[in-house]
Amino acid sequence: MEGNSQVRKRGERRKKPLDKASFEDMALAYVARFATSAAKLESYLKRKLRERGWDGEDEPDVAAMVSRYVEKGYVDDAVYARAKANDLLRRGYGGRRVKQALGQAGIGESVAAEVAPEEYTARNAALHLARKRGFGPFAASPPDREKREKQIAAMLRAGHTFDHVLAVLDAVDEAAAQDWAEEAREETGGWNA
């Protein structure tokens, strides 16, 4: 019985409310540890204020703090967007998923458009996903109709265009799929990643 009351007390323990110094320290620790966007940082700070409360006269100006961090270069939406986009593309996600992830991070349309994958990069991402998941020419055996539909759906959910999905899945063999991706390099002269 006594052990249960101790557990309850431990669970009820709350951290001290934030003051100016602890709030600043927490914000600095967050940007030092995580790559983030201005919108994600603002959301994090507001959440921490709700969770812990404020021990001061006036509530802190979160937007001003975020702006100050942007001015100092601690937070850079363009750098974050480029890193996030490249990470997703290397993992096999397509342009739509990249755009969605950047939107969720509060990245503006103009910055998202700057880091949108070029054709060669988008094709290679589709090829990588198919290789990783054993789809199309990378499958051990040709899929039946139901399995093919599931592969199409998985690639579409990953953010690839329908044309790219069909090009990869309909490739005769791995070399044909790789040639399809290389065609875009020849047309555009490279990639933006």
DSSP per-residue codes, 89-118:
HHTT--HHHHHHHHHHTT--HHHHHHTPPP
More confident residue, 37 or 8: 37
143 phi, psi to nearest 5 deg: -75, 155
Identify residue 81 by its one-letter amino acid code.
A
77 phi, psi to nearest 5 deg: -60, -35
188 phi, psi to nearest 5 deg: -105, -15
- Worst-scoring range by mean pLDDT, 7-11, 74-78, 133-137? 7-11
The answer, yes or no, to whether residue 115 has pLDDT greater than 80, is yes
Distance separating alpha carbons of residues 75 and 69, to the nearest angstrom: 6
Identify residue 147 by its one-letter amino acid code.
K
Q: What is the mean pLDDT of the chain?
A: 91
pLDDT at 191: 46
Distance separating alpha carbons of residues 151 and 169, to the nearest angstrom: 8
Residues 6+ apart with CB under 8 A from 127: 168, 177, 178, 180, 181
The CA-CA-CA angle for residues 53, 71, 45, to 5°, reads: 15
The label of the residue with tokens 């054993």 reads 134
Using 50, 70 and 90 to split pLDDT, how confident is the model at 80? very high
Residues 6+ apart with CB under 8 A from 123: 164, 167, 180, 181, 184
The answer, yes or no, to whether residue 98 has pLDDT greater than 60, is yes
Using 50, 70 and 90 to split pLDDT, how confident is the model at 5? low
The answer, yes or no, to whether residue 8 has pLDDT greater than 50, is no
The answer, yes or no, to whether residue 119 has pLDDT greater than 50, is yes
Encoded tokens for 32 = 């030092």
More confident residue, 191 or 126: 126
Summarised one tens digit per residue, pLDDT across range 122-178 is 999 999 999 999 999 999 999 999 999 999 999 999 999 999 999 999 999 999 999
pLDDT at 2: 53
